[in-house]
Amino acid sequence: MKKRAIRFLLLACLLASPAAAQRAPLPPGQGKDIVEAGCATCHSLSYIPMNSRFMTQDVWKAEVTKMRTAFGAPIDDDAADAIIAYLVANFGAPPK
């Protein structure tokens, strides 16, 4: 039964049409390429629009810091600043 299930998965992988990594591409903006390189190594970019728009600059900064310190994302200080700026500009909480 196990072998059959695995064969089914392989067949289905070949037949299925590819899904977009996220619903819509990230909007253009300064730092977009750094976001794509820095974040998509480990997870689909859908995590970004999914978490919008309710995060302030401090909250986005905390998320990027968590990715670097807790998850070991190889993002240096300059790249982190660029990523945070892009996320706040395009996915940050609207001003109150």
Partner 1 sequence: MRRRDVMVGLGALMGHEAGAATMPWLSPDLPDGTRAEAHLVQVPGKQPLIQLSDRPPNLETPIQAFRTAITPNDQFFVRYHLAGIPDAKQLDGWKLEVGGDAAERSATFGLQQLNDLPQTEVVAVCQCSGNRRGLCTPHVPGVEWGYGAMGCATWHGPRLRDVLKSVGVKPEAVEIWLNGMDEPVLSATPAFHKSLPMAKALADETIVATSMNGGPLPILNGFPARLIVPGWTSTYWMKHLSNITISAKPMDNFWMTKAYRVPAGMFPVPDPFATQSNAATWPITDIVVNSLIATPISGEQVERSGFKVRGVAWDSGNGIARVDVSLDGGKSWQSALLDRELDRFAFRTFSLDSGALPRGTAELRVRATSNSKESQPDAWRANPAGYHNNVPQRVIVTVA
Between 59 and 88, CB nearer to partner 1: 59
In the complex, the residues that contact partner 1 under the rule CB under 8 A are 1-3, 5-6, 8-10, 12-13, 16-24, 41-44, 46-47, 49-55, 59, 63, 70-74, 91
Please say whether the beta carbons of 75 and 68 come within 8 A: yes
In the complex, what is the shortest distance from the CB of residue 33 to partner 1, in angstroms, rounded to a whole number? 19
In the complex, what is the shortest distance from the CB of residue 79 to partner 1, in angstroms, rounded to a whole number? 15
For 19-61, the DSSP string reads PPSSSSPPPP-TTHHHHHHHHTTTS-TTHHHHTTT-B-HHHHH
